[in-house]
Amino acid sequence: MTTKVFRGRLWVPVGVLTSLAYLVHQRRVVLAEQRRTHGQHPVDRSLLELKMVQVVFRHGARSPLKSLPQKEQVEWNPRLLEVPPQTQFDYIVTDLTGGPKPHSPLESQYRKTVLKGGMFAGQLTNVGMWQMFALGERLRKNYVEDVTFLSPTFNPQEVFVRSTNIYRNLESTRCLLAGFFRHPKEGPIIIHTDEASSEVLYPNFQNCCSLRERIRGRKQAASLQPGISEDLKKVKEGLGMASSEEVDFILLFDNMAAEQVHGLLSCPTLKRFTQMIEQRAVDTVLYMHSEDRENLQMMVGPFLHLLQSNLLSAVDPTFPAGKTRKLYLYSAHDVTLMPLLMALGIFDHKWPPFAVDLTLELYQHQESKEWFVQLYYHGEEQVPRGCPDRLCPLDQFLNTMSVYALNPEKYHMLCSRAQETGL
């Protein structure tokens, strides 16, 4: 039933989906504000103590993952790879147990694609480096300068850092840390990563057969849906592409976003159809994955379980204090953030921009000893689904997460389950 609803939504004109999503989100914010103004037992925020922060962020600006099949190509000059001195920060990469850095098959695949100008596909640029440095500076202001929550220099007893094993993410993390902590206290910091086969910081199609089967063919089918199909034809014609070219809105948006953030433009058509391309790219993702429970569980269920486990460990008085951290940093991707936002009920139907962050703050009331969660996306306060206010009681926030969070056993069971024909 949910899938049918999403299919129907794809047929409406561009802009309607965004407007509806925005209105629903704003309505939740307004209701929360009314409860704050007229509700009973308001929380005295001066009595709240920050206990833990988790930040999930997208890497910085990069080159496109694949070029568009057109004669006029943007030149991706290797000068864009020059590292600003301020973003230098020494680090080493290990697996999750502290062992050697795993092999990265995705990174090997990117390096097989050489763009015009000489850069590889998906490389972090100095524009992206500065974006991540700025995010690190904002986090430093929030948690070191405005509030004395973390030490001004990196302390591994306070901070745990994890990234997908893709170079642009590792380098994005470096730049964020440079803005956040300026210089490490002693020696290189450790960025933890996982094997590609068991990675949970993005939807793992390699590891989850059921998810892979569900979206097989959907990407191509999405381009044939009424509304999407007509809009794709307009853009192709504007770009001078043959109708037979295998181009979809996700590829178009990826190139458009990468070019625009670097002040490059291969074709005026991309600029003319900016809003359409972004919205149809989002519509395509919604059609491919569908916002039903099992799909979201398979996409980000294990990651939600990880975030949830960190929260539960922090509030458990019997949990060894030395094994928890004040700050958890997770370097991820747009394909991670979209399903996370959907699961939390705060997706605004806009593609997550480069260097965007989703931040979860955990507080404890010093008198009542109650626990609360504050959620931010792109620096803006959010009201998650199932929460009465921006400051959400922990148990209600956990209830929202538990709908989609999957422990490893349930995840593997769901991913290995045979799918019905036609999914």
Strand-pair partners of 95: 193
Catalytic residue (choose from 231, 283, 334, 348): 334
* 391/35 Cα distance (integer angstroms): 11
Strand ranges for 306-387 from DSSP E: 327-332, 357-365, 371-377, 380-382
Question: Going by DSSP bridges, is the β-strand pair 391-393/371-377 parallel, antiparallel, or unpaired?
Answer: antiparallel
Query: Tokens 């043959």 map to which residue?
Result: 242
Largest CA distance in the chain: 67
Query: Tokens 């704050």 map to which residue?
Result: 36
* 110/119 Cα distance (integer angstroms): 10
C-alpha gyration radius of the chain: 22
What is the distance, to the nearest Å, from the Cα of residue 265 to the centroid of all Cα atoms in its chain? Answer: 25
Helix (H, G, I), strand (E, B) or coil at 348: coil
* 30/418 Cα distance (integer angstroms): 43
For 244, residues 6+ apart whose C-beta sits below 8 A from its C-beta are: none
* 166/220 Cα distance (integer angstroms): 27
Q: Where are the alpha helices (DSSP H) in 203-292?
A: 209-215, 218-222, 228-239, 249-261, 268-272, 274-289
CB 57 within 8 A of CB 378: no
Helix (H, G, I), strand (E, B) or coil at 391: strand
Q: Left (φ > 0), alpha (ψ -120 to 50) or beta: where does 356 sit?
A: beta
| Whether residue 316 lies in the annotated active site | no
* 357/174 Cα distance (integer angstroms): 15
Helix (H, G, I), strand (E, B) or coil at 248: coil
CB count in 10 Å sphere of residue 361: 20
Query: Which two tokens mark 319?
Result: 């949990």
Q: In this structure, what DSSP letter does residue 351 have?
A: P
* 131/120 Cα distance (integer angstroms): 20
| Whether residue 334 lies in the annotated active site | yes
Catalytic residue (choose from 59, 262, 289, 305): 59
Q: Cite the active site residues.
A: 59, 334
